[in-house]
Homo-oligomer: A and B are copies of this chain.
Amino acid sequence: MEPRTLQLMEQQTQQQIEDGGNNQAAGTNNRWAPTPPQLRILKGLYYDKGFKYPTPEQIQEICLHLKQYGQIEDKNVFFWFQNLKARERQKLKEFRNVPVGGSLYLNFGSTSSTSTDRSIDLNFGSRVGYGADGSIMEQRGEYHQEIETLPLFPMHGEDILGNMKTTSKGGGGYSGGSHISLELSLNSYRDADMA
């Protein structure tokens, strides 16, 4: 039914400075990382006890308790909870109701209660700078994407790049001096990684 494979794995094959009680060499490491006991306790609070919204007082208490397992500050505890909450929520958001039957980009008026749907604009040659050699100049100013109800992909074909050569934007009535360089930086990266 659905081709997606929902996996919520944890992938903890990460570095977790194995030092059981002391890390944080002065000067060389400026970013806190939980020691294994600290991480175990924090996870125990979050997952096992369902404790997800610590107050500042509770953060202090947790931090104080965790200090015996390594250097830690209040803000570390605060950020830890905040990040975990945010990322779990993000994960749920990404995996919910994938429009399998085709993505529909309909504006439901504006009755969406918490509609954070922003579509991209496919600005063909509107705000891109070009160098003298024709290469793109990556001049992103301050704003990322305009809000415009445009589909990401024009159809369920296979090409975003190939298809837009025949659109009216690129080939037709562009009355400007510059060209729409579609072949800007195709070889910047290695491709053909895997077959």
Interface residues of A (CB under 8 A from B): 3-5, 7, 9-19, 22, 24-25, 28, 33-37, 39-41, 43-45, 47-65, 67-69, 71, 73-75, 78, 82, 88, 90-91, 93-95, 98-100, 103, 115-120, 122-128, 136, 138-140, 142, 144-145, 147, 150, 152-153, 156, 158-161, 167, 169-170, 174, 180, 182, 184-186, 188-189, 191-194
Contacts and interface: CB of A to CB of B under 8 A. Distances in A.
A161 to B, nearest CB: 4
B49 A123 contact: yes
A169 B61 contact: yes
7 contacts: A18-B40, A47-B184, A48-B184, A54-B120, A56-B90, A57-B180, A60-B180
Given A43-B189, A64-B99, A78-B126, 17 more contacts: A9-B24, A12-B17, A36-B191, A40-B191, A43-B186, A45-B160, A52-B144, A53-B139, A56-B90, A57-B136, A57-B180, A58-B120, A58-B150, A60-B98, A74-B182, A78-B125, A82-B125
Contact of A59 (B37, B51, B122, B139): B122
Given A45-B152, A144-B50, A180-B56, A94 B118 contact: no
A64 to B, nearest CB: 6
Contacts of A52: 140, 144-145
B59 A103 contact: no
Which of A118, A169, A180, A191 has the most chain B CB within a 10 Å cutoff? A118
**Chain A interface, DSSP helix/strand/loop, else mixed:** loop
A79 to B, nearest CB: 9
